A = this chain, B = another copy of it.
Amino acid sequence: MSKYLAFDNETALDYIKSLGLFFSEDAQLSCYEFGDGNLNLVFRVIDQANNSIILKQALPYARCVGESWPLTLDRARIEAHVLQRHGAVCPDHTAKVLHHDSELAATVLEDLGDMAILRNELIAGRNFDNLGYDVANYLAITSFYHSDFYLDPQNKKALAQTFTNPELCAITEDLFFDDPYRECERNNFPAALTEQVLQLRQNAALLCVVARLKAKFLSSPQTLLHGDVHTGSIFISSEKTKLIDPEFGFFGPIGFDLGSFIGNLLLNYCAQNGRVKEAPKRRDLHSYLLNTISTCLQQFEQQWHTLAQQHGRDLALKAPGYIELFLQEVLQDAMGYCGTELVRRTIGLAHVADIAEIEDQSQRLLVQKQSLQLGEQLILNAKSCRTTDDFYQLIISFVH
């Protein structure tokens, strides 16, 4: 890493020019940084004809809630390589890597500036019909082609080694499965939630399921995950859906990404209760989100099943009925992880803008109570579901 130096606008531009790959030699280039600066620098380099690319560079530290701690630059390599592997099987829904330099922890990416970050769109109440279907396809295709159903075991083991990502996994292990369930200074919730939080921490059945989900997160390298599929990692337009930022990628349980995604839709669902006063508009948003979840669950299962039947290469895993059994467990895991996402985004360290930015404090508290309770119920009941419709019914039984 001796070559590493954090870019500024000028050195970023020099670097892009020196690569000589993206613009003609006499192009008039400009460059500006527009990342949030917490974990990464993000530059846009643009020529006189408005052609542009993105240069993303990892910083050797992370800032969060004022705190600063060192964070491996290796995550830039992981992120670029996950995008490349996912892009190779699902180019439609994966941001394209144009160049990567591990020593500089820098990646050149296609500019998706014509699209919008999904979280902001959902907060603003905008809908995208393609969302559930596209994300389901992204998750099914990328997870199938990196699973034991498709990859030769020796290749998969070699790949899993290169995607070992202990530092970023440790963040998830702590924030998802540990902190919210015990006294921890990183937690962050209003005093008015204390009673509900204490009850959660005394619910032995729930803690037992959380333990199981954590054990599976630790020791179930089923596929190469994105690792951080929240609605801030998704670019969307009415025509396209593209995933970005898989720096938490590693070989883990397939249900984790699906659960994270649905969890973020449900966080937005709860948030709309505190954001939208007009009942018909709120109903429309809710109905959109539930339809998206239903589509996503069904399409994920169908797509995975079709891929496994048509392209599965492990003969033992093609035993009649096994794909169905496997997918049932993946969906149960997903609902469990979905529940932990709701819990940790409500009472843990990192909140979502959907809820955190509700200005009315009492409205926000009602939303937080709902999201915490919904998370709890999903964790407790995930194992009793057998079909995607069971899951859908489970969700609507607690949000309606």
Contact = CB atoms under 8 A, between A and B. Distances in A.
Interface of A: 148, 153-154, 156-158, 160-161, 164, 166-167, 169-170, 173, 177-178, 181-182, 204-205, 207-208, 210-212, 214-215, 218-222, 251, 314-322, 325-326
Given A153-B170, A208-B321, A182 B315 contact: yes
A245 to B, nearest CB: 22
15 contacts: A153-B166, A157-B164, A161-B161, A204-B319, A204-B320, A207-B316, A207-B319, A208-B319, A208-B320, A211-B318, A214-B314, A214-B316, A214-B317, A215-B326, A220-B220
Contact of A321 (B153, B170, B204, B219): B204
A290 to B, nearest CB: 31
Contact of A317 (B156, B157, B215, B321): B215
3 closest cross-chain pairs (CB), A and B: A207-B319, A211-B322, A154-B166
A329 to B, nearest CB: 9
A148 B321 contact: no
Q: How many copies does the complex hold?
A: 2
A164 B166 contact: no
Contacts of A208: 319-322, 325
Contact of A319 (B164, B210, B318, B319): B210
Contacts of A153: 166, 169-170, 173, 218
A170 B316 CA distance: 13
Contacts of A314: 214
B316 A148 contact: no
Contacts of A207: 316, 319-320, 322
